Amino acid sequence: MPNIDNDTLLVSIQSVYQSIKRYESLLSSETLKDPENIEELLLSYDEALEVLKSCYGEQLELGANLPPLEAILYSE
């Protein structure tokens, strides 16, 4: 995996998480015509978030000065 700086990692995690929330809302909408596509997208975003969270955890273990993951994802 290519190296990315911690700021990019932080923004990527936040962006993917927000996309998941947006697609979950769309999935629960009654006007949705093709839920299968949204479910596939959600699966891809969920997998990406898990990879990013793992990288984030590794950076924390290496001593990176990053906020706790919960603080950036669930602070809404």
Backbone dihedral region of 63: left (phi > 0), alpha (psi from -120 to 50 degrees) or beta?
left
Q: Where are the domains of the chain?
A: 6-73
Pull the structure tokens for residue 28: 């629960």
Domain 6-73 belongs to what topology?
Helix Hairpins (1.10.287)
- Distance between CA atoms of residues 26 and 20, nearest Å: 10
Enter the pTM of the model.
0.86
pLDDT at residue 9 is higher than 90: yes
Residue 37: the pLDDT is: 87
Angle between helix 6-28 and helix 35-61 axes, rounded to 10 deg? 150
- Distance between CA atoms of residues 6 and 3, nearest Å: 9
